[in-house]
Amino acid sequence: MPTGVHLQDARQQLFDAAERILLRDGPSALTSRAVTDEAGCAKGVLHRHFTDFDGFLAELILDRAAQMEEHSARLMAALGVGAVEQNLARALSALFRPVPVAILPLITFRDELRIRLRELRPGGGIAILSDATRAVSAYLAAEREAGRLSAAADIDALTLSLVGGGHLLLADRHADRPGPAAVERFVTATPRDALTT
């Protein structure tokens, strides 16, 4: 591998390379060598920008988790507009795009990575899942306050059902990704007394 290749934005190019590997080959294929080969640079480039590979992975995950804020903002912007079920279905499909879904097993199976993430982002929870949970919970609470959900709706239980079920529905990277209608059917199957006033 040539060592003289200059990367304008090495961090972003390495992140993008890791993302391509995740989508194409899955989390088990993600190694420092695979990332630098995919990015077309020497292995030392990664170590000039990150303390080690787990440090790189932690920064990648936090970068991709930050991108979820845009989808969370769109969900909140839908407050009071359209059907709650359709808003939630669109949000789950956006929050559980292929890259965030591919990242979750990486977090689950790398102990050192979870430790790094807790150090970088205290407060518990698994990055990506906790971000999706916060977004859905805030939206549900706001819709309940607006009278578009039952006043008796258990927001915590409803959030866990939607986020957990949505993740399971959209998690298989080898199967055809369920379309909007399938996700909406899942959301609509949520207990009716929770989603109606």
Question: 59-104, pLDDT tens digit by residue?
Answer: 999 888 888 888 888 899 999 998 899 999 999 988 888 888 888 8
Helix (H, G, I), strand (E, B) or coil at 17: helix
The domains found in the chain, sorted by start residue, are 8-49 (1.10.10.60), 53-195 (1.10.357)
146, amino acid identity: A
Structure token pair of residue 186? 């899942």
- CA-to-CA distance for 98 and 159, rounded, in angstroms? 21
Cα-based angle 42, 44, 47 (whole degrees, multiple of 5): 135
| Choice among 7-16, 129-138, 167-176 with the minimum mean pLDDT | 167-176
Residue 130 has pLDDT above 90, yes or no: no
pTM beyond 0.75, yes or no = yes
